[in-house]
Amino acid sequence: MSFYVTTPIYYVNAAPHLGHAYTTIAADVMARHHRQRGETVFFLTGTDEHGEPVADAAHALGVEPQELADRNAERFKALAPQLGVSNDFFIRTTDPQHEAVVQEVLSRVRENGFVYEGTYEGSYCPRCADFKAENEIADGNRCPIHHIELTREQEENYFFKLSAFQERLEALYAEREDFVAPRSRYNEALSFIRSGLRDVPLTRHKLTWGVQVPWDAEHVFYVWFDALLNYYSALSYAEGSDRTAELWPASYHLIGKDILRFHTIYWPALLMAAGIELPEHIFVHGFLLMDGEKMSKSLGNVLDPFAVIERFGADALRFYLMREVPFGQDGSVSTASFELRYESELANDLGNLASRSIGMVNRYRDGALSPGELDAGLQADFAGLRERVEGHIDRAELHLALEEIWQRVRGLNRYVEEQSPWVLAKDEARAQELDRVLRSLAEGIRVVTVLLWPYLPSSAERLLEALGASELALRSAELGAGSIAQVSAIESLFPKDL
């Protein structure tokens, strides 16, 4: 069984920020979880390098667009390993192999009768690289997302017959109610479809920085159609061979709500026009907000993920972003809330649980745990945990899966206080009871650690090593599925004195 997950490809007109880290970490959590299931996983991310915003940013810096693309693509590449991200390929839309697939697929769309030549006039946002309908324009003739004044553009273009797919898209949404999630975004996309689809520009005539149209050298393809095809093109060359038949269609596209229309309407229509199978799911997450505004390069209100990682480590950032904001909704982030989560949940709930528990096994039993029965109360509390976590992640409810796990982390802390191993250790007559408590505690920590690995890969691996339990497969996330015989000392997972 295969699982193919993608992030949007990120625009190279400026450097990466926390919003990019958010989507990439979410995709990595899903990819790692499905690897734990033993599935064939392919995780794609990359950069979107063509179009007017890149050309304009390069011009402002006095460099060629390719030079700016090269420079910022490297910064996005550098972010992935620092985040502990396990992507299988990093695509760039300036890759010649990608450009060739774009030309082939869009030529096929033309041959199938869905492209014609015409004149387009409308209000255009260069940062969105998109024309805005009259009902989308904010007060003052401004983009509702970037708050900049729209320009009036008119040019000769080739058009994509989006209107031809009105009925097919309505049927798609009726037949596959899980095609777009969460439900509010499904409804938003369906509402746009029902309002009546209009044909959209497929090419640009005034722009030169893009993939050249093979049937008309004076045009380049509109950046969004070029960019969307990365999800399909990458499979044909990412690992030196064509894996399209093995991995397509994509299991999940993860995107932000600002690019909903392109992915939930233009993209399936384009694939229909080319005769390509549609992706299984598109999940639309919300914005990370600071001071009530979307975190955005163009708005200048970003937190630097590199600085956060340097001080606290990648796992802390991964945890915070998946824990603080319900995945699929807008949510506020701040340094204060980050530090609160770090201290109260990572350092206290998990870090302290691990160090106390392993310390007691070393202190009272020289690090050795004897085989035997587990606490019945803990077994009842952990029953069905793995299945619930799987179900949440299958629906991209990453925050709910993490909450399920964290309830058990807190439950294990309560278990320590209720059983008081330090009291049992003083009474030789209760030695077997102490063994059972320490054994159950270690086993409970092992289970939650296996389930936490997609979120906290580095910390989870360190903790499992200390427990002498290296198994990461999801089937091992059951009490009693792994026997811990010997533990070793572990340094603080989440130190407070940073």
User: Which is nearest to 164 in space by CA: 103, 102, 113, 222?
Assistant: 113
The CATH number linked to 55 is 3.40.50.620
Kindly state whether residue 322 falls inside one of the protein's structural domains: no
Task: Give the residue with greater pLDDT, 151 vs 180.
Answer: 180
Number of domains in the chain: 2
Using 50, 70 and 90 to split pLDDT, how confident is the model at 291? low
CB atoms within 10 A of CB 48: 26
pLDDT at 139: 72
The DSSP 8-state label assigned to residue 213 in this structure reads: P
pLDDT in tens, 198-225: 999 999 987 889 999 999 999 999 999 9
Q: How far apart are CA 167 and CA 179, in angstroms?
A: 16
CA-CA distance, 312 to 77, in Å (whole number)? 21
Q: For residue 302, name the pLDDT band (cuts at 50, 70, 90).
A: low
Same domain, yes or no: 289 and 361: no
Same domain, 301 and 373: no
* 403 in any annotated domain: yes
The average pLDDT across 356-381 equals 96
Other residues' Cβ atoms within 10 Å of the Cβ of residue 215: 14
Higher pLDDT, 19 or 356: 356
Clarify whether residues 216 and 361 are in a common domain. Answer: no
Residue 429 lies in a domain: yes
Q: Within a domain: residue 266? A: yes
Instruction: Look at residue 300 and tell me whether its pLDDT is greater than 60.
Output: no
**279 with 399, same domain?**
no
The predicted pLDDT at position 74 comes to 94
Q: Which residues are designated catalytic?
A: 17, 20, 125, 128, 143, 146, 294, 297
Give the CA count within 13 Å in the CB-facing half-sphere of 187.
3
CATH number, domain of 471, equals 1.10.730.10
**Same structural domain, 286 and 349:** no
Q: Could you give the CA distance from residue 290 to residue 198 in angstroms, rounded to a whole number?
A: 35
Pair (306, 452) in one structural domain: no
Residues 91 and 31 placed together within one structural domain of the fold = yes
Domain coverage including residue 398? 335-476
Question: CA geometry: angle at 75 spanning 16 and 204, to 5°?
Answer: 70
Q: Which residue has the higher pLDDT, 496 or 129?
A: 496
Phi, psi dihedrals of residue 151, rounded to the nearest 5°: -105, 150
Q: Return the closest-CA partner of residue 444 out of 360, 399, 372, 379.
A: 379
Quick: pLDDT tens for 390-418. Answer: 999 999 999 999 999 999 999 999 999 99
What is the tens place of the pLDDT at every residue in 223-236?
Answer: 999 999 999 999 99
Q: Supply φ then ψ for residue 64, to 5 degrees.
A: -75, 150
Cβ atoms within 10 A of the Cβ of 291, count?
9
Does residue 92 belong to any structural domain of this protein?
yes
User: Are residues 207 and 255 part of one domain?
Assistant: yes
Judgement on whether residues 349 and 294 belong to the same structural domain of the protein:
no
* 290 shares a domain with 400: no
- Judge whether 497 lies within some domain: no
Q: Which is nearest to 91 in space by CA: 227, 224, 202?
A: 227
Together in a domain, 23 and 94: yes
| Assigned domain for 116 exists | yes
Say whether pLDDT at 298 is over 90.
Answer: no
Provide the 3-class DSSP secondary structure of residue 353. Answer: helix
Q: What is the mean pLDDT of residues 143-147?
A: 74
- Strand order across the beta sheet in which 293-294 lies: 293-294, 288-290, 331-332
> For residue 164, is it within any domain?
yes
* Interval 35-69: pLDDT, tens: 999 999 999 999 999 998 889 889 999 999 999 99
State residue 222's pLDDT score: 94
Same domain for 140 and 31, yes or no, is: yes
Q: What is the pLDDT of residues 420-459, one digit of tens each?
A: 999 999 999 999 999 999 999 999 999 999 999 999 999 9
